Chain A
Amino acid sequence: MKSNQSKSDQFKSLYKNHKDKIYRLCYGYLHDKAEIDDLFQQVLLNIWENIESFRGEAQLSTWVYRVTVNTAIMYSKKHRKLRDVERPEVDFSLASDQEPEEPDSDPLPALRVLHECIHKLEKQDRIIISLYLEDLSYAEIAKVVGISVNYVGVKINRIKNELQQLMPEQ
């Protein structure tokens, strides 16, 4: 009982502090609003299931990023899991009647353009550039993705170049 309470408290605190970054990663990986919400819930479910096994070897945020990225990678296979079993009563799409398609604070057209360009990238590149935009260091990105720091750098330079080419001239 005490353990359940502690797990709930841990989850609530994690949800409060990390929900936006989780959502941004989901939003960077997928385009469709319903799929983003679905993936977001799947990430939260995975976090809740695994939260007790977080031992603090890595930073909590690195752990959250890892779970988010791995859930996103597996999403196409698993995306029906929640629908098949039982859809959570909470529906994020109902959070607001006039909810925008993009995250709340997205007044900048430049961000919209960036999102559109990111969605044209390969899936692994979408993940890496989203982590980069989250301001993670190369070392942190390497820890999340499982590649060396050196080629995180190589990769980011390439993705940046690709994005520059994809972005319309202003």
Chain B
Amino acid sequence: MMNIDDLKSDWKSQQKPGSSAKQEVDPTSLLNSFENVQHKTKKENIILSITLSLTIAFLWGMVYFLGNTSWWVYTGVIIMTVEMIATAAFAWYRNSLKKWGNVQSDSYNHILAAIKKLKYRKFLMIYVLPVYAILLITGINLVYIDVIGDMSLILRWVIHLGVSVLMGGFFFYELNRRLKKERREIDPMIEELQAIKKGLEKEKQQDY
């Protein structure tokens, strides 16, 4: 019968492939690659932030140039501004390379935190994003109340309904697609983490 303890020294003698001097990978190239990943993510976040800032500036510029704007417009623009700031903040958080900062904690706590984060992500997708979409559509419609206020009633209704249906349809399709994808990826992940957690806890209960 093979003894596991006898294999310890053999186990520890195993080296990473390419560890011989001739094949050794230069860690500097690795570092460059990691820095490239980080720079690319930062660049994407900066571009998104600039785009959103320009949109906010455009909206408030519109408010300024329209003059005598009603509270409908103000409310609509404020809703959209808040949403855009939230989008930028979330993008920075989501793409932050330290989002799994608890990677240094012990595995049990890491698993607990990971399960919590995954469930939060699901909650975000199911509840927060639809509210976000509804608020955005509401904001745009509020601005339109004033902007197209001089048009005929029928035309105004057509524009309001058209914008709402188009945006609502787009959001519905996109959220549904993403939700399906997330469910496919997140649910098995949560199950797997819970199985590992349970595996550790099972022993814990038997121990005491």
B31 & A103 in contact (Cβ 8 Å cutoff): no
Q: Does A143 contact B (CB under 8 A)?
A: yes
Q: Write the residues of chain A forming the contact surface with B, with a CB cutoff of 8 angstroms.
A: 8, 11-12, 15-16, 19-20, 22-24, 27, 40-41, 44-46, 48-50, 53-54, 63, 66-67, 69-71, 73-74, 76-78, 82, 85-90, 92, 95-96, 99-100, 102-106, 108, 110-111, 113-114, 122-125, 127, 129, 133-135, 143-148, 150-151, 154-155, 158, 160, 163-164, 167, 169-170
A96 & B34 in contact (Cβ 8 Å cutoff): no
Q: Does B36 contact A (CB under 8 A)?
A: yes
6 contacting pairs across A/B (C-beta < 8 A): A16-B27, A88-B30, A146-B105, A146-B106, A146-B107, A148-B204
Among candidates A16, A70, A114, residue contacting B11 with C-beta atoms closer than 8 Å: A114
Q: Does B111 contact A (CB under 8 A)?
A: yes
A105 & B107 in contact (Cβ 8 Å cutoff): no
B193 & A103 in contact (Cβ 8 Å cutoff): no
B100 & A74 in contact (Cβ 8 Å cutoff): yes
Complex interface: chain B residues within 8 A of A88 (CB): 29-30, 33-34, 36-37
Among candidates A45, A92, A158, residue contacting B37 with C-beta atoms closer than 8 Å: A45
| Consensus secondary structure, chain B interface | helix
**Per-residue A-contact encoding for B7-33, CB less than 8 Å = 1, 0 else:** 110111111111110011111111111
B104 & A127 in contact (Cβ 8 Å cutoff): no
Q: Does B165 contact A (CB under 8 A)?
A: no
B192 & A76 in contact (Cβ 8 Å cutoff): yes
* Contact count band on B: 35 or more
A150 & B14 in contact (Cβ 8 Å cutoff): no
A76 to B166, CA, bound (A): 37
Complex interface: chain B residues within 8 A of A95 (CB): 17-18, 23-25
Among candidates B7, B23, B196, B200, residue contacting A114 with C-beta atoms closer than 8 Å: B7
Q: Does B150 contact A (CB under 8 A)?
A: no
Q: Does B154 contact A (CB under 8 A)?
A: no
Among candidates B10, B37, B105, B199, residue contacting A66 with C-beta atoms closer than 8 Å: B105
> A77-B185, A102-B17, A146-B110 given. 18 additional CB < 8 A pairs?
A8-B28, A24-B14, A44-B30, A49-B98, A70-B110, A76-B188, A90-B26, A90-B33, A92-B17, A95-B18, A96-B18, A108-B10, A123-B192, A123-B196, A124-B200, A134-B11, A146-B107, A154-B206
